[in-house]
Structure 1
Amino acid sequence: MSVTAVMESPRGPQAPTPEEVADALADARFVRVVAAPTGASLAASGVVARALRERAIPFQVRVRRASAYAVTDDAFTLRVGSTGPADLTLAEPARAPTMAFEVARELGTDPDPRLALAGVAASETDPAVSTLADVAGLDRSPGAGVPVADLADGLGHSTLLHAPFSDGADAAGAMLAELGLPAELDGDARRRVASLAAVETTTAPGATPRAAEAVARALNPLRLDDAPFATVEGYGDVLCAVARERPGTGVALALGHDARTPALEAWRTHARHAHTALREAETARYTGVFVVRVSLPADGGADANSDDTEPDVHARRTAGRLRTVARLARDFRSPEPTALAVADGIAAAATHDEAVDAADALGRAVETADADGTAREADTRFAGDAEAFETAVREALS
């Protein structure tokens, strides 16, 4: 059986309601949840898995690229954030966290709206306009949407923006020192931080007009007071990073285990590599696409918290970092609607052009279906000359 859950209206015959999804899961003897390596998918998987745990329904959660997982047993497979063989699929990243929250309610549990909201934020959707914000009793507050109370650490490692201070806590701390902030931050001090961060981001060398729109994701957040992170937006940022950097840790975090410290370590590592790669990249502009040629260090050693059977950890991690580089380039440095980040044999694309399908374009460029992701953001491996690959991608995008 293969059923796809699509949160569209009017609802078609292949789009089950949250009640129907919950009924299917309640009847399962064992549920295998397969999440795409994205923050939204990880959050949605965690919401569902916590409900399954509360209902004493056996389950397992794995973070996998679509091409790296096949159904091999009789477990009931729930795929989140990607398409492929499954008994049930929550495929649309922007809607999966909210759908998962409703499914968990239908299972008779009391799901955590903060985790679902973090997934909404991770999908690049404004969590403040989600009905889940009302459920959680959260409103916008002034300041920066970072996961930690230390603003220098938070702004220096955030992947919600790319600015001169995106070089760790020391760089961000030097910027913040200009403000002479009080020890206890009040609303006015937080507004000054947000204003300075916005100015530094949008006036940085190479910043594009789109940066003024994109930086809004990192400002005026839904504050959580460190439960489990400082803000919803920061929580979503951590989920995005850990899904790509250390997915085993990401699963533990999504399930509600005490994984805050290793998750923040992964977030800092991911941010450092992505920002450095973009800052030091060679770039080229073509009609419709901005190419970012990057060099990423070969440090992709195994994740002690991931499944030991996961293939090619280094390539997976490199692809995840490149997707973040492509997104940052698209939002803050690309004068074209699509950014293509290319490293040795691996590439990622991110676009805000509704007429472009990033996954399809990458797949056609390598003449296989081995592109992982969505129309908005995807990655692939390629063989041969990087210049020839870039040309093929540009042709596929035209």
Structure 2
Amino acid sequence: MATEGRSTDATNAAPGLESAAFVRLVTRADGDALAASGIVARALADRGTPFQVTVGRTVSERTKRATRTDEADARDAVDDDSDDLTMVVGAVDGDATRLDEPDRPATLAAVDRVRELGATPDPVLALAGLVAAGVEPGAGESEWVLEAARKRDLVDRRPGVAVPTADPADGIAHSTRLRGPWSGDPDAVRGALADAGVAVEADGTEPALESDDHRTIASVVALDAVGDEGATETAADAVRRGLKPYATPGDAPFATVGGYADVLEATARSDPGTGVALALGHDAREPALSAWREYGRRAHEALEGASTGRYDGLFVVGIGQGDGPVEAVARLAADYRSPEPTVLAIAESDGSGEAALVTRGEGPLGSTLERLARELRGESAAEDAVEYDVGTRRGYLRYDGLEESTVIAAAREVL
């Protein structure tokens, strides 16, 4: 099963970032890891060090990519591979150099590492990665990152909602951090805002919003989220995290830090090529927003039509044959719908399936996911029929030849 890998300081067998001739970054598929990879890659670009960034959806995928030796096409300018470095962001099997630690956001590890190289990380990208990891900007170790952004006038806290677009109807409808009766439907958002006295045109024209308008929008979102049918007590805390955002008045690609984080999460899982381009600082805003909209629409649609089951400590959301993104569905359910601390979202199609586990607890899910994968492999005809990944308070499973009831039973067993 997955090991923690080696820290970058724990081995003398491989070169460090400062001396590597070519760097392969193999990253976990989430917003925190994607931001971390972008921070490191930008520092490498500034140093003139060739690099490659790829996204591995599971521990197994990252392990295979980290041990590949046929990447010559990606490093034509490098003749001797003895100074190559492969660095993994996320859990990995075997003896691999890993950037991050399991109990700390990868973004923090990345900013520490590039500062050691003498580089200055983009504080807005770093803040977005931290939000994706569930860290409130300025909390704990992130205080200096927020202060660095403030000193450069890159962020400004204001009333409103944390969405990536200047159009609040577009942002609220497709956000995977908000859930209300209007989710997935921009017209429904416009109607709710119009009823509150805030007019937002349907033609995509950027509205001229004053502070009072932003406050009204935040009030509408908060009241609708907690008053929505099926909303649990946790909805109040969840929606609060999406209010009073850090706006990005500079040249950041998205309107708020929280919205930036939402786009990183969506692209990491649904369009990793675009996500990598975005994290590297390329002009990928429009394709990233398109991927984010589709991701959010599918997530809300799937949650709306899902079946549910409640067990002791576990809330199961069955997507059935739908194509909803299980991790977004699980997180939305954990934040707004689940009376239990842990959510399992399951989707099946043509004999294969995927599932996501999200917990509101403080402890990491690594050992739980390993036990769950081991249990399911014992039920499967082939060991490689079950793959998994793990991040902060969330996990992902991909499997073949297993019934939904088997996955639920195994999850109940290990929790």
TM-score, length of structure 1 as denominator length: 0.86
Partner of 1:136: 149
Partner of 1:231: 256
CA–CA distance in 2 between the matches of 1:46 and 1:83?
19
2:333 matched to 1:329?
A: yes
The match for 1:352 among 342, 345, 360 is 360
Q: Which has the larger radius of gyration?
A: 2
Confirm or deny: 8 A CA contact 1:40 1:94 kept in the other structure: no
Q: Secondary structure at the match of 1:291?
A: strand
Q: Deviations over 1:338-393 (max 9, x none)?
A: 00011112111101124573523531441367321136111112332211221121
CA–CA distance in 2 between the matches of 1:153 and 1:49?
31
CA–CA distance in 1 between the matches of 2:370 and 2:243?
33
Partner of 2:204: none
Confirm or deny: 8 A CA contact 1:25 1:31 kept in the other structure: yes
* Distance of aligned partners of 1:374 and 1:359 in 2 relative to their CA distance in 1, 3 Å threshold: farther
- CA apart distance, 1:81: 2.7
CA–CA distance in 2 between the matches of 1:150 and 1:179?
16
* Distance of aligned partners of 1:355 and 1:213 in 2 relative to their CA distance in 1, 3 Å threshold: same
Q: Secondary structure at the match of 2:177?
A: coil
Partner of 2:168: 151
Partner of 1:200: 224
Partner of 2:78: none
The one-letter code of the counterpart of 1:99 is: A
Partner of 1:377: 394
CA–CA distance in 2 between the matches of 1:296 and 1:175?
32
CA–CA distance in 1 between the matches of 2:396 and 2:134?
18
CA–CA distance in 2 between the matches of 1:42 and 1:50?
12
Confirm or deny: 8 A CA contact 1:165 1:171 kept in the other structure: yes
- CA apart distance, 1:324: 1.0
Q: Secondary structure at the match of 2:196?
A: coil
Confirm or deny: 8 A CA contact 1:39 1:237 kept in the other structure: yes
2:67 matched to 1:67?
A: no
The one-letter code of the counterpart of 2:258 is: E
The equivalences for 1:1-398 within 5 A come to: 3-4=6-7, 24-65=16-57, 66-69=59-62, 70=64, 71-73=67-69, 75-84=84-93, 85-92=95-102, 94-129=104-139, 130-131=142-143, 132-137=145-150, 138-181=155-198, 184-225=208-249, 227-295=252-320, 297=322, 321-344=325-348, 345-354=353-362, 357=365, 358-367=368-377, 370-374=387-391, 376-382=393-399, 383-397=401-415
The one-letter code of the counterpart of 1:379 is: Y
4+ aligned runs moved over 4 Å, structure 1 = none
CA–CA distance in 1 between the matches of 2:197 and 2:321?
36
* Distance of aligned partners of 1:216 and 1:362 in 2 relative to their CA distance in 1, 3 Å threshold: farther
- CA apart distance, 1:296: 5.2
* Distance of aligned partners of 1:57 and 1:356 in 2 relative to their CA distance in 1, 3 Å threshold: closer
Partner of 1:308: none
- CA apart distance, 1:94: 4.8
- CA apart distance, 1:72: 2.0
Confirm or deny: 8 A CA contact 2:175 2:262 kept in the other structure: yes
Confirm or deny: 8 A CA contact 1:277 1:295 kept in the other structure: no
Percent identical: 45
Can you give the 5+ residue segments of structure 2 that lack an aligned partner in the other structure? 70-80, 200-206, 378-382
CA–CA distance in 2 between the matches of 1:261 and 1:185?
22
CA–CA distance in 1 between the matches of 2:103 and 2:301?
27
CA–CA distance in 1 between the matches of 2:156 and 2:255?
14
Confirm or deny: 8 A CA contact 1:94 1:120 kept in the other structure: no
Confirm or deny: 8 A CA contact 1:94 1:124 kept in the other structure: no
The one-letter code of the counterpart of 1:68 is: E
Q: Deviations over 1:210-233 (max 9, x none)?
A: 111111221111100362100000
* Distance of aligned partners of 1:77 and 1:93 in 2 relative to their CA distance in 1, 3 Å threshold: farther
- The range that moved more, 206-215 or 130-139, is 130-139
- CA apart distance, 1:163: 1.2
Q: Deviations over 1:210-263 (max 9, x none)?
A: 111111221111100362100000000000000001000000000111100000
- CA apart distance, 1:170: 1.3
TM-score, length of structure 2 as denominator length: 0.82
* Distance of aligned partners of 1:147 and 1:94 in 2 relative to their CA distance in 1, 3 Å threshold: farther
Q: Secondary structure at the match of 2:396?
A: strand
Can you give the 5+ residue segments of structure 1 that lack an aligned partner in the other structure? 6-12, 299-317
* Distance of aligned partners of 1:94 and 1:220 in 2 relative to their CA distance in 1, 3 Å threshold: farther
Confirm or deny: 8 A CA contact 2:99 2:110 kept in the other structure: no
